[in-house]
């Protein structure tokens, strides 16, 4: 019996991915554990292993295909003794994630009829059940939209969403699908037009909160700019940070910290360190942040609908800029690790992050984030919280400033400005201030990190 190979969920939050490359072809024999494909998620490129033995009978999703839904069938495996030529591709099933109004018959005035959700595919031996691949963009039931004159526009839900995002009026498009239905390729081949202002297309994102972001060609002529499609990482960053900024009540706290003692200690540590170990200022800040979280456990917390989750360890997410966005690899249990271990681990994570080779468990599970733009000369800034973490620290550049010392004398010191952004549902101003005081103490007296 043929076995369906489905798009795997490579992380708990993955909804779709890009089938970057097939490492096998139709007719190849594979066994359990063989690498058969590479999948690109929003954060990394990962290898997919076969979980059954047999021959690749059919490859249903071509390499390079974007937006492949989790659990969609991407290939079919013939078992031992089964004739590959007899294996048939599974029938495509409609998506069940977003029911749309039915297109089979017009609804009476004042009523809306919706198509019942199709049952999910039965689970295959290579993964959980789910929607089959969608090749032509006709996913789901057809959406029925009423023109002002009462005439209907038949369009797939995906075509309707693409049209809204590109600012295309569906009334001007001739559909090539069944019964003249407008499908994905019709919208993608159309040129962006004026922003749709009619009632045909609701200007809303899938979550119903964010308006489509489009350029009106009455203001920006299409030939005056180059449109580069969003990759998976950019889409995810945009979606999650927008949701965070809209849904999480942010407030910032900032403080200036003197770095002279820390810089002196860093030089001494590196002089005494074994060959190949070089501790950075950022490594010291990671350690200081972790210890401050242990000192102020009320700040090492996440908001949930059921209550506040207080974390037992300080897992520090560190923002790393990569092509097309950023990623936050995590130093787990940083409060228990020495500076050399943090340094070596951070170098490895950052290098693999830039190559998009991190595993999901290496960039998920943080309890606190650090974003450092000091190397770019940024004096101060405030970051957006990375849910479900309760705080994020924004680190500016260390610079020489004139300050007044304890004796009232004006002296030159190396000073760094930091901003702590807090989730007010979890952390109050007093708690955030206590954490900043603890962090400042560790940075200004780095020997305290050794106690």
The CATH code of the domain that includes 177 is 4.10.320.10
Instruction: Based on the fold, state whether residues 250 and 350 are members of the same structural domain.
Output: yes
Instruction: Based on the fold, state whether residues 278 and 183 are members of the same structural domain.
Output: no
Task: Give the per-residue pLDDT at 364.
Answer: 92
109 within domain boundaries: no
Active site residues: 424
> Which range (130-134, 339-343, 350-354, 429-433) has the least confidence?
130-134
The residue with greater pLDDT, 244 or 126, is 244
Phi, psi angles (nearest 5°) of residue 27: 100, -15
183 within domain boundaries: yes
Q: Which of 229, 246, 265 is the last residue of a domain?
A: 229
* Cβ neighbours of 292 (radius 10 Å): 25
138 within domain boundaries: no
Instruction: Based on the fold, state whether residues 361 and 247 are members of the same structural domain.
Output: yes
H or E element in which residue 254 lies = strand 250-258
Instruction: Based on the fold, state whether residues 169 and 258 are members of the same structural domain.
Output: no
Region 59-68: what's the mean pLDDT?
88
* Contact yes or no for 125/3 (Cβ under 8 A): yes
H or E element in which residue 55 lies = strand 54-59
Q: Indicate whether this model's pTM tops 0.85.
A: no
Task: Give the per-residue pLDDT at 211.
Answer: 66
Task: Give the per-residue pLDDT at 185.
Answer: 80
Q: How confident is the model at residue 45 (pLDDT cuts 50, 70, 90)?
A: confident
* Contact yes or no for 391/421 (Cβ under 8 A): yes
Q: Is 62 left (phi over 0), alpha (psi -120 to 50) or beta?
A: beta
Task: Give the per-residue pLDDT at 409.
Answer: 93
Task: Give the per-residue pLDDT at 436.
Answer: 98
Q: How confident is the model at residue 399 (pLDDT cuts 50, 70, 90)?
A: very high
110 within domain boundaries: no
Instruction: Based on the fold, state whether residues 277 and 249 are members of the same structural domain.
Output: yes
Question: Is residue 128 predicted with pLDDT exceeding 50?
Answer: no
Instruction: Based on the fold, state whether residues 218 and 326 are members of the same structural domain.
Output: no
Question: Is residue 12 predicted with pLDDT exceeding 80?
Answer: no
Instruction: Based on the fold, state whether residues 401 and 298 are members of the same structural domain.
Output: yes
Question: Is residue 121 predicted with pLDDT exceeding 50?
Answer: no
97 within domain boundaries: no
Instruction: Based on the fold, state whether residues 26 and 164 are members of the same structural domain.
Output: no
- Of the candidates 30, 37, 89, 32, the residue with the CA atom closest to the CA atom of residue 68: 37
d(CA 6, CA 13): 17
- Of the candidates 321, 318, 158, the residue with the CA atom closest to the CA atom of residue 237: 321
Q: What is the pLDDT of residues 74-115, one digit of tens each?
A: 988 887 766 666 666 665 543 333 333 333 333 333 333 333
Residue that is written with structure tokens 């039965």 in the block: 122
Instruction: Based on the fold, state whether residues 53 and 159 are members of the same structural domain.
Output: no
Task: Spell out a b/e string for 384-398, using b for 16 or more CB atoms within 10 Å of the CB, else e.
Answer: bbbebbbbbbbbbbb
Q: What percent of the chain has pLDDT over 70?
A: 78
Q: Which of 68, 86, 104 is the last residue of a domain?
A: 86
Q: What is the pLDDT of residues 220-239, one digit of tens each?
A: 888 898 988 887 778 888 88
The DSSP output letter for 182 is B
| Count of structural domains, the chain | 3
Region 347-352: what's the mean pLDDT?
95
Instruction: Based on the fold, state whether residues 334 and 352 are members of the same structural domain.
Output: yes
Q: Output 226-232 pairs: Cβ under 8 A, ≥24 positions apart.
A: 227/192, 231/324, 232/16, 232/17, 232/18, 232/40, 232/41, 232/42, 232/66
Domain housing 383: 237-450
Region 314-319: what's the mean pLDDT?
97
137 within domain boundaries: no
Task: Give the per-residue pLDDT at 86.
Answer: 65
Question: Is residue 186 predicted with pLDDT exceeding 50?
Answer: yes
Q: What is the pLDDT of residues 285-315, one digit of tens each?
A: 999 999 999 999 999 999 999 999 999 999 9
272 within domain boundaries: yes
Task: Give the per-residue pLDDT at 299.
Answer: 98
Instruction: Based on the fold, state whether residues 221 and 266 are members of the same structural domain.
Output: no
* Cβ neighbours of 291 (radius 10 Å): 20
255 within domain boundaries: yes
Structure tokens at 184: 């994905």
Instruction: Based on the fold, state whether residues 19 and 50 are members of the same structural domain.
Output: yes
d(CA 449, CA 263): 14
The CATH code of the domain that includes 9 is 2.40.50.100
The CATH code of the domain that includes 415 is 3.30.559.10
Q: Which of 51, 71, 86 is the last residue of a domain?
A: 86
Across 38-47, 104-113, 355-364, 388-397, which has the greatest mean pLDDT?
388-397
């Amino acid at each position: 019996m043929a076995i369906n190979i489905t798009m795997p969920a490579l992380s708990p939050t993955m909804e779709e991915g890009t089938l970057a490359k097939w490492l096998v072809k139709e007719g190849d024999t594979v066994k359990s554990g063989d690498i058969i494909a590479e999948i690109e998620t929003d954060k990394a490129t990962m290898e997919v292993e076969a979980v059954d033995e047999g021959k690749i009978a059919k490859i249903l999703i071509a390499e390079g295909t974007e937006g492949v839904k989790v659990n969609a069938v991407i290939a079919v495996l013939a078992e031992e003794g089964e004739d590959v030529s007899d294996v048939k591709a599974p029938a495509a099933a409609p998506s069940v994630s977003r029911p749309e109004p039915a297109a089979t018959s017009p609804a009476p005035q004042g009523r809306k009829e919706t198509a019942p959700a199709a049952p999910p595919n039965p689970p295959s031996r290579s993964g959980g059940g789910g929607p089959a691949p969608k090749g032509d963009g006709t996913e789901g039931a057809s959406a029925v939209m009423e023109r002002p004159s009462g005439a209907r526009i038949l369009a797939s839900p995906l075509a309707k969403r693409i049209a809204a995002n590109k600012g295309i009026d569906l009334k001007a498009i001739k559909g090539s699908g069944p019964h003249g239905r407008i499908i994905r390729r019709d919208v993608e081949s159309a040129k962006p037009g004026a922003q749709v202002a009619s009632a045909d297309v609701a200007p809303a994102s899938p979550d119903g909160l964010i308006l489509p972001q489009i350029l009106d060609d009455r203001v920006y002529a299409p030939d005056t700019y180059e449109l580069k499609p969003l990759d998976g990482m950019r889409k995810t960053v945009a979606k999650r940070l927008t949701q965070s900024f809209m849904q999480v009540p942010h407030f910032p706290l900032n403080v200036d910290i003197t770095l002279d003692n820390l810089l002196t200690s860093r030089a001494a540590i590196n002089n005494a360190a074994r060959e190949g170990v070089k501790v950075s200022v950022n490594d010291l800040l990671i350690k200081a942040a972790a210890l401050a979280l242990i000192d102020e456990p009320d700040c090492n917390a996440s908001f949930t609908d059921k209550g506040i989750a207080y974390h037992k360890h300080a897992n520090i997410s560190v923002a790393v800029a990569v092509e097309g966005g950023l990623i936050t690899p995590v130093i787990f249990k940083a409060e228990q690790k020495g500076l050399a271990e943090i340094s070596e681990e951070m170098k490895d994570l950052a290098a693999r992050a830039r190559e998009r080779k991190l595993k999901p468990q290496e960039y998920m599970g943080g309890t606190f984030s650090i974003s450092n733009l000091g190397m770019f000369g940024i004096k101060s800034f405030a970051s957006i919280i990375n849910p479900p973490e309760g705080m994020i620290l924004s680190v500016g550049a260390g610079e020489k400033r004139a300050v007044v010392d304890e004796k009232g004398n004006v002296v030159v010191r190396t000073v760094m400005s930091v901003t702590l952004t807090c989730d007010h549902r979890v952390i109050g101003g007093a708690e955030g201030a206590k954490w900043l005081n603890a962090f400042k103490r560790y940075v200004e007296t780095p020997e305290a990190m050794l106690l």
